[in-house]
């Protein structure tokens, strides 16, 4: 990986807010997809694999877009 690209990746990883937004967006997308397909969400809880009806899982709000900084 080139030095320039590595620096870009390092900046992205250090931006905790961007990571948090991406995780919320991914969770939201997974719940919506499972609802559309009518298949359960599969989770690991208390050392066991469980299936949960996606309609019983609250849908997180869409993450806010970051504000432009000057």
Q: Does residue 2 have a pLDDT over 80? A: no
Report d(CA 42, CA 62) in Å as an integer: 22
Report d(CA 19, CA 2) in Å as an integer: 22
The pLDDT value recorded for residue 51 is 98
Report d(CA 19, CA 12) in Å as an integer: 8
Q: What are the residue boundaries of the structural domains of the chain, listed by start?
A: 3-56
The pLDDT value recorded for residue 67 is 66
What is the reported pTM? 0.70
Report d(CA 33, CA 43) in Å as an integer: 15
pLDDT, tens only, 24-64: 999 999 999 999 999 999 999 999 999 999 999 999 988 77
Handedness of CA 27, 29, 30, 31 (dihedral sign): positive
The pLDDT value recorded for residue 13 is 75
The pLDDT value recorded for residue 8 is 76
């Amino acid at each position: 990986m080139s030095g320039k690209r590595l620096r870009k990746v390092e900046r992205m990883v250090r931006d905790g807010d961007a990571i948090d937004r991406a995780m919320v967006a991914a969770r939201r997308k997974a719940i919506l997809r499972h609802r559309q397909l009518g298949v359960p969400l599969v989770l690991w809880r208390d050392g066991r694999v469980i299936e949960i009806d996606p309609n019983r899982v609250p849908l997180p709000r869409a993450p806010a877009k970051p504000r432009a900084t000057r």
